[in-house]
Amino acid sequence: MAASLSRPCFISLHLPYRQGWAQHLANTFRFQPVAVRETLRVRQLALRRESAIFLVNERLAPASTSSRDFLYDVDPQPTLGTASNVCFEVNDVPGLCKQLQSQGCSLLVPPTDLNDDGGSVTYGVVSSVVGNISHTLLDRSCYRGPFLPGFQPIQGATSATGDGIKITHFDHITYVCPRGGARAALDWYQRCFGFHRFLLNPQERPAEGYVLGGKGVGMLLLALQSAQGTPAHGCKLVFAESLSQNGTNQVDTFLEQHGGAGIQHVGLCTTDIVSTTRALQQQGARFFTPPTTYYSQGGKAEEIQEAGQDPHMLAELGILLDTTVPGDKGQLGTDATESPSREYLMQIFTHPLFSEETFFLELIDRRGAPGFGEGNIRALWKAVQVYMDQQQ
Ligand SMILES: O=C(O)C(=O)Cc1ccc(O)cc1
């Protein structure tokens, strides 16, 4: 039987020795430092925005032979910044680790108990079949502290409000897989972790996946939805694979610059993409913007207006909007709690966060639409292509 996982508890980022990047995430994206763990060799900082938590791991000294420097994680020994671990909360860590091992998964950290004044937790770490990704499985049902045992709470850390940034949780995590590897990754997560297939778009054929063709694009997308939660509220995993025949695109570029498969981006759910984008831009966050023709061609301005949004405002900020057919919620669409007359979603993508063209963030504001917009993905693709051409 496969495990039944819920929304991620945290996503872990690793930075090579001597890169003061945690501060950048805190300052630019206004994530609040909530807890820290520091040893002579490493610093681990938990940064939070409502239920979205990034654990930023930095080396303070060159890598040692000890692979257990980082708590709740393993050391991917990065030569560049990488998002390499996703932690899920589960009920029975030892039972699940045993089961995963019997399914051929490699156990990187066996079930381990840790405790402090706030109570106790149990965790283990398993290796994913995709690139450098690992998963921490964590039971913190007996823990009442602010983050996790081994971490010191950061005094005065309050939840930020009134700054215009409305980020609530991780909406999805997009993996870049090697060519020919997306289907195997999808099968592994279904089999081992009990994720369910999720159709990205009404046009997707289940047997093939969502193929984006056309000028220069060439990408296959497959998606899963966590077993707990509805399409609108659970976390999705998206597997992307390049189908491009003619040289580089953003998926190939990721593979090349990251040195293999891994997490390409994390979608942060926002309840107000306009105020969030504006506030983050003021802090210095940089976003990809589509060509201005995006807003004037093919009835886009009318589509935006019909959705009740202001085309000028979206154009000024570079926010993308895609409308989906009302009532069509993909394969798992049974969530009856949100049924606005028009379902749409708005997205915007940041520039890569590290110095390489690898990991980036996305803001996603879902107004009833649980899938992904083909128009938005194409617009992102074009904007990235323009950016990459400018970099050369
Ligand atoms: O739209 C999204 O957020 C996706 O996750 C789909 C996607 C996947 C890979 C890309 O390079 C760009 C977009």
Residues 120-169 pLDDT 10s: 999 999 999 999 999 999 999 999 999 999 999 998 766 667 789 999 99
Beta bridge partners of 320: 347
| Residue 230 or residue 83, greater confidence | 83
Q: How far is the CA of 193 from the centre of ligand 1 (A)?
A: 22
ipTM of the complex: 0.98
Q: Does the beta carbon of 267 sit less than 6 angstroms from any atom of ligand 1?
A: yes
Residue 120 Rama label (left phi>0; alpha psi -120 to 50; beta)? beta
Residues 50-78 pLDDT 10s: 999 999 999 888 776 666 899 999 999 88
Question: How many CA atoms within 13 Å lie on the side-chain side of 273?
Answer: 28
Ligand 1: which of 173, 264, 265, 360 to mutate, most ligand atoms within 8 Å of CB? Answer: 265
Mean pLDDT (whole number) for 219-228: 88
Q: 317 CB contacts (<8 Å, ≥6 apart)?
A: 274, 277, 278, 281, 287, 348
Bridge-based pairing state of the strands 8-15 and 52-59: parallel
Specify whether the CB–CB gap between 240 and 219 falls below 8 A. Answer: yes
What tokens appear for 72 in the block? 């709740």
Q: How far is the CA of 38 from the centre of ligand 1 (A)?
A: 35
Cα-only R_g, the chain = 20
- CB environment 162-185: b (16+ within 10 A), e (fewer): eebbbbebbbbbbbbbbeebbeeb
- 151, 166, 148, 170: which is closest to 54 by C-alpha? 170
Q: How far is the CA of 377 from the centre of ligand 1 (A)?
A: 6
Residue nearest to atom 12 of ligand 1 (CA): 377
Mean pLDDT (whole number) for 87-101: 95
Q: Does the beta carbon of 377 sit less than 6 angstroms from any atom of ligand 1?
A: yes
User: Which SS3 state, helix, strand or coil, does residue 142 take?
Assistant: coil
CA distance 335 to 19: 43
Beta bridge partners of 83: 13
This prediction's pTM: 0.93
pLDDT above 70 coverage of the chain, percent: 88
> Crossing angle, helix 250-258 and helix 374-391, to 10 degrees?
60
Confidence of residue 201 (pLDDT cuts 50, 70, 90): confident
